Chains A and B, each alone.
Chain A
């Protein structure tokens, strides 16, 4: 079979006619989707409530003094980590960072679930 034969066969394919129900079915699906789609506002009240709870928990677990000390110890830079990897302040700082990151992830996940973002 040469190239001309292939071209001829593949070019000569007859077009099929879509069924009359196709447009109707498509429009039914689209109308149903359009009527079900309601824009959900961002849940600011829940967002602030959860943020406040997380902040309270952070303060409860890590009193302000220890956070400040942790920030100070962080400013010692990597050197202090190398010299005293077991430093309590540093551990607390790392834990508070981890808690904030996890808290943010929970918030993002929560807001995605509420708004339906990322469904498509």
Chain B
């Protein structure tokens, strides 16, 4: 249904009606901002990245072939742009332990600690090597759809599966190391 509406708007834009692109922007702004946010964990930066993605989509609209779903094409174009933006200008990454340490020392309530822990896991994903980071972000963003993840990354399903496995391993190792270090710090100070 949405794909039909997207195709209609694409045709209208290509026929010279620039305003029709606004419908595409309204339908896709939330997914593209959220995908960008998972890469940079910064709301303002995510909106800037999404703006650049829309501009790229507009410029390349004539290259869209209707044999693929519009959603797949939009995500693939945006993903490529986000990756190149991140390569060009590395993000100022907050040290991973910082937020958790603050939460630990201030002894905030359980829910706050839980939120911090989850946020530190998501931040840890962004500092993985690019191929594992991309695989994990896209896989969970597309609600664990392996086929679409592979298509968006431009690799076979087997390769995507291997990257996901390796990415999870690295992530687990990174998190376990940190948890051990934090436990040691707690033991010293408490």
**Residues of chain A at the chain B interface (Cβ within 8 Å):** 1, 3, 6-7, 9-13, 15-19, 22-23, 25-27, 29-31, 33-34, 120
A17 to B33, CA, bound (A): 8
Q: Count contacts between A and B, CB distance < 8 Å.
A: 74
User: Apart from A1-B176, A13-B38, A13-B122, what are 17 other A-B pairs with CB-CB below 8 Å?
Assistant: A1-B121, A1-B179, A6-B168, A6-B172, A9-B122, A10-B122, A15-B30, A16-B34, A16-B37, A19-B47, A22-B33, A26-B25, A26-B54, A27-B19, A29-B51, A33-B55, A34-B18
CB distance from A38 to the nearest CB of B (A): 14
State whether the Cβ of B143 lies closer than 8 Å to any Cβ in chain A.
Answer: yes
**Which residues from chain B contact A12 at a C-beta distance below 8 Å?**
118
State whether the Cβ of B171 lies closer than 8 Å to any Cβ in chain A.
Answer: yes
In the complex, which residue of chain B has the Cβ closest to the Cβ of A25? B51
**Which residues from chain A contact B59 at a C-beta distance below 8 Å?**
33, 120
User: Given contacts A30-B21, A31-B18, A34-B18, are A17 and B144 in contact (CB under 8 A)?
Assistant: no
A27 touches B168 (CB 8 A): no
A12 to B54, CA, bound (A): 26
A18 touches B47 (CB 8 A): yes
CB distance from B89 to the nearest CB of A (A): 19
